[in-house]
């Protein structure tokens, strides 16, 4: 098991291989269909109120029931991955398959895709604090900043290789 703490560095990623079991601690952000395209627009006009360099984004909503990954290959989510990686996001957490084009963009920007078990109770137990940081009008699909301790995952895509 490899343990990572945010912000994630290129050196952190150089020590990872496809299939590695990891945990992530520190600050991560949530985003899915409603929030990620809006985040891309904020980046384009330089209005993101937090630093994306070395960040981790989990493809999920946050409700009273907790968190669990959503399918990352949805058009609204997958289309944001290359741009977010280019702008500092190092790890994308979700589930499902990504296109060959997205895999190439992850590699080009030295970012990785991590899958995590869709077990809401397990993942929610790892959240220490939560705060809505963007798009509050989207309800549970708003972007949240989470302080987490040892979110589990498996490196699914790195250097154009996948599980």
Say what the pLDDT of residue 86 is: 97
Strands 2-5, 21-31: pairing kind: parallel
Mean pLDDT, range 6-25, rounded to an integer: 97
Neighbours of 93 (CB within 10 A): 24
Please list the alpha-helical segments (H only) found in 20-125. 36-44, 75-78, 81-86, 100-108, 120-124
**Which pLDDT value is given to residue 108?**
97
21-48: average pLDDT: 97
pLDDT tens sequence across 54-66 = 999 999 998 888 8
Q: Give 161's pLDDT tier (boundaries 50, 70, 90).
A: confident
Mean pLDDT, the chain, rounded, equals: 94
Q: Tell me the C-alpha distance between 107 and 88, whole Å.
A: 13
Per-residue pLDDT, 104: 96
pLDDT at residue 162 greater than cutoff 80: yes
Quote the pLDDT of residue 44: 97
Q: Which of 146, 153, 154 has its CA nearest to residue 127?
A: 146
Q: What is the pLDDT of residues 110-152, one digit of tens each?
A: 999 999 877 888 899 999 999 999 999 999 999 999 999 999 9
Predicted local confidence at residue 163, as pLDDT: 78
DSSP strand pairing (127-134 vs 112-115) = unpaired
User: What local confidence, expressed as pLDDT, does residue 74 receive?
Assistant: 94
DSSP letter at 159?
Answer: T
The H or E element that residue 14 is part of is helix 10-14
pLDDT for 66 equals 84
What per-residue confidence (pLDDT) applies to 117?
Answer: 75
For position 41, what pLDDT does the model report? 97
């Amino acid at each position: 098991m490899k343990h990572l703490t945010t912000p994630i560095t290129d050196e952190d990623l150089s020590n990872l291989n496809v299939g590695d079991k990891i945990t992530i601690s520190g600050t991560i952000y949530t985003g899915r269909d409603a929030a990620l395209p809006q985040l891309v627009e904020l980046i384009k006009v330089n209005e993101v109120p937090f630093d994306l360099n070395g960040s981790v984004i989990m493809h999920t909503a946050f409700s009273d029931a907790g968190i669990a990954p959503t399918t990352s290959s949805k058009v609204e989510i997958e289309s944001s991955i290359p741009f977010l990686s280019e702008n500092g996001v190092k790890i994308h957490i979700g589930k499902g398959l990504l296109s060959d084009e997205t895999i190439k963009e992850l590699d080009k920007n030295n970012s990785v895709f991590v899958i995590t078990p869709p077990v809401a109770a397990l993942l929610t137990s790892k959240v220490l604090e939560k705060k809505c940081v963007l798009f509050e009008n989207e309800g549970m699909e708003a972007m949240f900043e989470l302080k987490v301790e040892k979110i589990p995952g498996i490196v699914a895509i790195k250097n154009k290789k996948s599980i």
